[in-house]
Amino acid sequence: MADPQKTCAQSNKTVLCISGLAGTGKSTLAKKLAQKYNLQYYSGGDALKDLAKQNGYDISVQGWWERDAGITFLKERLSDPKFDRAVDEKLLEYAKQGNVLLDSWTMPWLLKGGFKIWLEASTEKRVTRVAERDNMPLIEARKMLEEKEKRTKEIYQGLYGFTLGEDLTPFDFVLDTDNLTASQVFEVLCHVVDNLVLSTSSVF
């Protein structure tokens, strides 16, 4: 049997896209998958934070997106789409190169081809995870998460016409992570990549 890392490296058309609302573990898992399969990792959220930094925001605070500064930047993005358009254009360029894993909320709708994975989790579970991750009280984590997702949905609805977290039609695989550990989710996703992506990578 071929080594998965070698297989991915040889197929420069391999494009994975992982999405999921905050608290589903998508970024951590996406980085682990990229490392395992020798794929270049690109994050839409990280790229947006870099733009925020360039525009004077202090992004050093843990859980920045769920803090006041992150919400303020969301409002700025809502009034001016230049930030999101710049990031999405860059991610599409990376996708054309192949051999990439994109951690993005928009690419499943904007990207033609590729294999797209959505990680699902209940609001309760996500609030708990975010509170633990960012050392926040549960009440504050819920409030900030709801505000963040409301603004984010408005941005993408206005820019591209899709409803984040509700329209799952672009996805090839949807996984409910509520009752799974991070290691179990990773194991499932490796199985999916091995059997649904690498075996037919030329299609994507």
Q: Which regions of 44-197 does DSSP assign to beta strands (E)?
A: 100-103, 115-120, 173-176
pLDDT, tens digit (0-9, with 9 covering 90-100), for 16-61 = 999 999 999 999 999 999 999 999 999 999 999 999 999 999 999 8
Task: Check whether 4 has a pLDDT greater than 60.
Answer: no
Q: What span, in angstroms and rounded, lies between the C-alpha atoms of 49 and 158? A: 20
Q: Which of 48, 58, 171 is nearest to 107 (CA)?
A: 171
Superfamily designation of domain 4-200: P-loop containing nucleotide triphosphate hydrolases (3.40.50.300)
Contact 41, 34 (CB under 8 A): yes
**Residue spans per domain, the chain:** 4-200
pLDDT, tens digit (0-9, with 9 covering 90-100), for 132-185 = 988 999 999 999 999 999 999 999 999 999 999 998 999 999 999 999 999 999
Place of tokens 């984590």: 141
In this prediction the pTM is: 0.87
Q: What span, in angstroms and rounded, lies between the C-alpha atoms of 34 and 99? A: 9
